[in-house]
Amino acid sequence: MGPRVAAVVEQSWHRVPGGTATSTIRTLDAVARYTDVELVGLAARHREPAPTDLAPTIPVEHLPLSRLALYEAWHRLRRPAVTRWTGPIDVVHATGGVMPPRSGAALVATIHDLAFLHRPEQFTKRGVSFMTRSLELAKVEADLVIVPSEATAKDCRHAGIEQGQLRVIPWGCEPVVIAESDRENVRAAYSLPEEFVLWVGTAEPRKNLPSLLEAHQSAHADLPLILVGPVGWGNQAMYGTPGGTDRVRHLGVVPDSVLSVLYELATIFVYPSLMEGFGMPVLEAMAQGTPVITSRGSATEEVAGGAARLIDPLDSGSIATAIDEIASDAVLRDKLSAKARFRAAALTWENTASLTASVYREVVR
């Protein structure tokens, strides 16, 4: 039996779980499936289970504190020790955000991104304070720090984390085989047009939706824009609420089974984010063979690996031109689709699991 690891899964109960929760749950599920690591989840007290798509697949110990009380106690007091509920463990894994105490074990921290250092005005003061404390604890206490991209590793080095402390472990993806009946059912259920541009994510300032909306409005291609995901924070008027018009529609949150179909049905997937730690929607779209447009000089360029059309996210004209070029050229779409599938096939959850388990073993040794 491999090391016994207590990993934070509280993100699954957050109001807006985002990519942090998705990547955490899928990583831990993969570790449980593909390795001999013994996992136990850590969460605050909850009356309701986590949403089905984000429910942890590993056993979870719920500590008898609310999320706010637990987070504050861990960050300010460095207690309670998690072993009071988990029993003996070899590793504590702070999977993103909150940093539990070592509890007599090795400590591994995952840092998804450091966007709050670049654009603190796009976060609440309380959020910046919380994430700053988490970063400081990671620098001082973590034996190793996992990051999902070289872009985040670079940011971490600039923030004072030593190179030898960092381990880059990209996330994975598994293509979903879509039946024709599923395509027809989703198209009918959401009244989807034959062709459309798709965006997926949590609507927040760094996702750069205003530039996408401006680009879509100025593009010559007559393709509706479909937005999928929760409204997060920032100027709500920029993003709207679920609903919309025939030209731009916001579907809100959809089940994972529907999301895979939407990726495959989309003519183009556009993701002009200003900053990402990884950019899971880019990989998910590529796995379904969807031509992708994303930001140059970002973690999403790294994820795309030469299989996407790159744009300047601050130049809506650049985004519009890319949409028009791909929409008007079937040969280019087929080429990008083939390259996307090939690239996505190289990023698997089995590989993520293997590398993560290696980090656990490394800190135990």
Domain ranges of the chain: 4-172+348-364, 180-345
Name every residue whose Cβ is closer than 8 Å to that of residue 191 and which is 6 or more positions away in sequence: none
pLDDT value at residue 234: 58
Amino acid type, 137:
L
pLDDT value at residue 248: 92
Number of Cβ atoms within 10 Å of the Cβ of 159: 15
Q: What is the mean pLDDT of residues 81-93?
A: 97
Q: What is the mean pLDDT of residues 91-108?
A: 96
pLDDT value at residue 242: 54
To which CATH superfamily is domain 4-172+348-364 assigned? Glycogen Phosphorylase B; (3.40.50.2000)
Question: What fold does the segment set 180-345 form as a domain?
Answer: Rossmann fold (3.40.50)
Say if 4-172+348-364 and 180-345 have the same CATH topology. yes
Reading the block at residue 303, the tokens are 């994820």
Reading the block at residue 334, the tokens are 């087929």
How far apart, in whole angstroms, are the C-alpha atoms of residue 136 and residue 134?
A: 5
Among 259, 207, 260, which Cα is nearest to 231's?
A: 207
DSSP 14: S
First-to-final CA distance of the chain: 15
Lowest mean pLDDT among 40-54, 87-101, 228-242, 260-274: 228-242
* Cα angle: 8, vertex 116, 281; to 5 degrees: 65
Lowest mean pLDDT among 46-55, 79-88, 177-186, 277-286: 46-55
Q: Residue holding tokens 């994975």?
A: 172
pLDDT value at residue 44: 97
Q: What is the pTM of this model?
A: 0.92
pLDDT value at residue 237: 42
Mean predicted lDDT score pLDDT of the chain: 93
